[in-house]
Amino acid sequence: MGRLKKTIAFLKTKKPLDRIKWFFATYKHAWLFLYGIVYITWFKALEVRTNVQMFNVHTSLDDRIPFNEFFIIPYMMWFFYIGWVLVYFCLVNKTEFFKVFIAMFGGMTICLVIYTIWPNMQSLRPTTFARDNIFTHIVAWLYSIDTPTNVCPSIHVYNSMIAYIAVRNSEEFKRNNKVKLICLTLTVLISLSTMFLKQHSTFDVAAGIILSMLMYLMVYVPDYSGLMANDGALGEREEEI
């Protein structure tokens, strides 16, 4: 935590362009974030494709889960949750950053491959809302910008699981049960929100969880310390400013 505060305080003394130059010179591994451009481009291409036979993902349990607009709160918190985990480890621990980045974007890429070869969708969204409030308005806005396609596995669920796994297995939060509990709670609420907002089927959620467990076994269980030791300071934390 101390290093993160010092970094923020240091950046405040710099001009915007100098901040960017200093950041990428100091945190060279942050260039990995550029893969996000590839991911977003690929995902958007899948969103707008036409003349594709879509598989409608649905289970009988989906019909028993009522729509609840209040779950839009944890659903939207996903963006801050995932962003915080990635940026925190990028600034604080390079080794942990590589792990969470590979796990997160590796799994997201697998999802894109699945969407590409197995186009899928869901038809669970309500056409009208029983209540009229700010939360239903936000949900309506969400529906308008997010197509009900490319849903299985659920990336919302998958990334939430990986974020929690990263926090739970990191040295920084090894003894911080409060942070781990908060992340676990967020992960559970976000996963539930995808079903209560009718953004995903229970099958999508289950697939996201299973994929995260497989990626955990691949990234976090094996000992890669020998491999990382060959990359100089890759396995060491960044030095203090």
Q: What is the CA radius of gyration of the chain?
A: 20
CB atoms near residue 167 (< 10 Å): 26
Retrieve residue 31's tokens: 């260039």
Query: What pLDDT does 237 receive?
Result: 46
CA pair distance 133, 146, nearest whole angstrom? 20
Residue 121, strand partner residues? 56, 149
Dump pLDDT digits (tens) for 123-177.
999 999 999 999 999 999 999 999 999 999 999 999 999 999 999 999 999 899 9
Contact 166, 173 (CB under 8 A): no
* Residue of 147, 138, 186 whose CA lies nearest to 163: 186
Query: What pLDDT does 241 receive?
Result: 45
Retrieve residue 115's tokens: 């969407």
Confidence band, pLDDT 50/70/90 cuts, at residue 28 = confident
* Residue of 178, 168, 180, 192 whose CA lies nearest to 77: 192
Query: What pLDDT does 8 receive?
Result: 66
CA pair distance 104, 100, nearest whole angstrom? 6
Answer whether residue 236 shows pLDDT above 50.
no
Query: What pLDDT does 68 receive?
Result: 98
Query: What pLDDT does 6 receive?
Result: 63
Q: Where are the domains of the chain?
A: 2-235
What are the phi and psi torsion angles at 120 (to 5°)?
A: -140, 165
Dump pLDDT digits (tens) for 214-227.
999 999 998 877 66
Answer whether residue 55 shows pLDDT above 90.
yes
Cis peptide before 153 (omega within 30 of 0): yes
* Residue of 55, 103, 44, 46 whose CA lies nearest to 203: 55
Retrieve residue 192's tokens: 């539930």
Half-sphere exposure of 8 (CA within 13 A, CB side): 8
